């Protein structure tokens, strides 16, 4: 597997379709396979707990970003941001 920087393959800003989301999920899997030991949440239970908390708190993240994203409007990008966030959210 080729090593990438996080900025390369876990970037979510261009995700706008189901295909983009599927590609992101593949990249997230590759990141887990390469760097899973560095993820904050090491098991499925902890990851799901973090996923729940991040989904509840993501509107705060978007309020601190220079882009207008409605966290209450379901989109492929919001889904990807939640999954990515759950890898490091405590």
Q: CA 19, CA 8: separation in Å to the nearest integer?
A: 17
Helices (H) and strands (E) in the chain, counts: 4, 0
Query: Over the stretch 28-45, which tens digit does the pLDDT of each residue have?
Result: 999 999 998 999 888 999
Torsion sign over Cα 40, 36, 12, 54: negative
Query: Over the stretch 50-88, which tens digit does the pLDDT of each residue have?
Result: 999 999 988 888 888 887 888 888 899 999 999 998 988
Q: Would you state the pLDDT for residue 4?
A: 44
Q: Would you state the pLDDT for residue 73?
A: 86
Token pair 């995700």: residue: 15
Q: CA 40, CA 88: separation in Å to the nearest integer?
A: 5
pTM: 0.80
Q: CA 21, CA 69: separation in Å to the nearest integer?
A: 17
């Amino acid at each position: 597997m080729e090593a990438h920087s996080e900025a390369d393959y876990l970037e979510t800003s261009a995700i706008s379709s189901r295909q983009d989301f599927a590609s992101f999920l593949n990249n997230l899997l590759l990141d887990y396979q390469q760097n899973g030991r560095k993820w904050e949440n090491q098991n499925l239970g902890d990851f799901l707990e973090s996923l729940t908390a991040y989904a509840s708190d993501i509107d705060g993240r978007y309020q601190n970003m220079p882009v207008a994203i409605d966290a209450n409007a379901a989109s492929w990008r919001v889904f990807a941001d939640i999954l990515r966030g759950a890898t490091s959210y405590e």
